[in-house]
Chains A and B, each alone.
Chain A
């Protein structure tokens, strides 16, 4: 059932390796601007609990970047589908939908992991070094698993690259700003907190931040990420056949 996933994953890795010199600066620009504008300039004299705002912001940015870079695999798939027609090569190969989805999801997770490393390095340049233990990485991997799976599923449904941009603008961008990245949810009214706790990124931000601050992990955050990841992965597998014309 899973034979062939290595081919899908290796293809993405080879492309990633070749494009890495261009991708690394690209991954650095937005987080760097957020760190300078919000973390350093605006939040310089602001504390959130017992931490500086910069310390509060960094885990949020890492969670956000792991989401956006994992989801970015949707654009890669759509370029492969609509412009290069490379998706046909996978569709005509004797591999299962599961194998294809596994390969693409792992590729998205790899991108997310590398982009997260870039932000941690940038954070270190600003003098912010937190605790990056196993729970930190597990939360990040789960978060990237959720959004890479969602990306593969969405990529199978859209009919053009413009549709994909629309999805990103209406789902990913609002989540990036509202999912506990830039501010504590406790600053919002109760209904707002309840609403935003429906977002997987909110739980990823909680989990990543708690791990980075060496605070006790909330089991609910991990359960939500595992549940959302499972659903999105299933959605991706069931969606692959829809990409047939």
Chain B
């Protein structure tokens, strides 16, 4: 469980986070959605003790990061936005070092390494140097490393950024499996479909503040079920409707060039903030 209350952080005069509060229940996938610069990575870095906070409290599985930093650190694994594997070491050696950093016994490390490499379908790359792996394999190894010490909370900062759609979808499958195994997952992303597919609940973050927090379905339902995109004075506009029939009627009353589609999370974000996510 993750409990965050009144989190604040300034970089110079700019407020990166302004009183962010949320709770993520055990076994839940919580997506933190916002445009670049909204404060997603700052939040995840504070929650994982990598960045200082100016104010607020953070508790991970009931441990406060201020009073019990080491206990907190043993609760979570991180999949960072940037690949931070040791490229001079092999796949197996990267997992070994992570296991030792988390006080695992050698025998346990060997067993867990085998399990995770099977799980991530990269057993054949055990001895490969990380610098020789593809981007997709490095991402999978990052996830395997984060899971090495069987953490109860997994922080994933833009886990699929920069990957092609096929690899992204295969990683979504892994993330779903991890959730089904009982982990609590905190996920930052600016991919709408990623949040929609994976998350039990979504928080919209804009300019360091949470502007909405609910299930994807509820956030979208707040603006309607169907959207019509149309050009008005050469600017793309969108109208929202609760039924397909009403959307169809609207299209019939307009000139050509309309598109009818399902409402998505980005529509909800734009309607609440006036800005796009990506």
Contact = CB atoms under 8 A, between A and B. Distances in A.
B86 interface: yes
B11 to A, nearest CB: 9
Contact of A85 (B70, B82, B102): B82
A42 interface: no
Contacts of A7: 97-98, 100-101
A159 interface: no
A4 B100 contact: yes
Interface string B102-120: 1100000000000000000
A86 B101 contact: no
Contacts of B70: 94-96
Interface string B82-100: 1011111100010011101
Interface of A: 3-4, 6-8, 10-11, 14-15, 18-19, 84-86, 88-96, 244-245
A2 to B, nearest CB: 11
A11 B82 contact: no
A11 B71 contact: no
B50 interface: yes
A84 B100 contact: no
Given A94-B103, A245-B51, A84 B97 contact: no
A16 B31 CA distance: 40
Contacts of A96: 70
A187 B121 CA distance: 68
B88 A18 contact: yes
Contacts of B159: none
B263 interface: no
B100 A86 contact: no
B49 interface: yes
A67 to B, nearest CB: 25
Contacts, number: 74
B16 to A, nearest CB: 11
Given A15-B86, A91-B50, 5 more contacts: A85-B84, A86-B85, A88-B80, A93-B102, A245-B50
B74 interface: yes
Contacts of A94: 70-71, 73-74, 101-103
Contact of A95 (B50, B78, B82, B101): B101
6 contacts: A10-B96, A92-B78, A94-B74, A94-B103, A95-B101, A244-B52
Contact of B73 (A15, A92, A245): A92
B126 interface: no
Nearest to A84: B84
Contact of B86 (A6, A86, A245): A86
A84 B96 CA distance: 18
Most-contacted residue by chain B among A4, A6, A89, A95 (CB, 10 A): A89
Nearest to B89: A14
B9 to A, nearest CB: 10
Listed from nearest, the 4 A-B pairs whose CB atoms lie closest are A7-B100, A93-B101, A85-B84, A94-B73
A90 B98 CA distance: 9
A95 B101 CA distance: 7
A195 to B, nearest CB: 40
Contacts of A10: 96-97, 100
A91 B84 contact: no
A102 B86 CA distance: 20
A235 B102 CA distance: 25
B45 interface: yes
A96 B74 CA distance: 12
B49 A92 contact: yes
Given A92-B50, A244-B51, A245-B51, A84 B86 contact: yes
Residue of A15, A90, A94, A95 most packed against chain B (CB within 10 A) = A94
Contacts of B71: 94
Contacts of B85: 86
A4 B101 CA distance: 5
Contact of B80 (A3, A4, A85, A95): A85
Contacts of B188: none
Nearest to B100: A7
A86 B51 contact: no
A18 B93 CA distance: 12
Interface string B35-62: 0000000000100111110000000000
B50 A244 contact: yes
Contacts of B98: 7, 89, 93
A4 B89 contact: no
